[in-house]
């Protein structure tokens, strides 16, 4: 599911529009921008995601899962 947020510049009221496909959401985003709406943005929900994205912290050389943090920047 995708949600497009936009603001009507005449009333300064924010709205949301739901779409079920990426193509539909991109089309709605383009249409709202063409209509002169402001602050048009799109977000998506990922129902298959488990846990948090990225790493929250590295403490004493270990990830939150207990694994060693071994990434090093190489030039």
Tens-place pLDDT, residues 9-35 = 999 999 999 999 999 999 999 999 999
- Per-residue pLDDT of 34-71, as tens digits, reads 999 999 999 987 767 666 666 567 888 888 888 898 88
Global pTM exceeds 0.75: no
CA distance 22 to 66: 37
Tell me the average pLDDT across 1-8. Answer: 95
Complete edge-to-edge strand list for the sheet that includes strand 38-44: 13-19, 2-8, 38-44
């Amino acid at each position: 599911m995708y949600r497009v947020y936009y603001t009507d510049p005449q009333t300064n009221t924010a709205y949301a529009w739901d779409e079920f496909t990426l193509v539909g959401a991109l089309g709605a985003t383009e249409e709202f921008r063409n209509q002169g709406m402001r602050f048009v943005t799109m977000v998506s929900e990922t129902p298959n995601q488990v846990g948090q994205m990225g790493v929250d912290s590295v403490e004493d050389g270990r990830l939150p899962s207990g694994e060693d943090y071994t990434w090093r920047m190489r030039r």
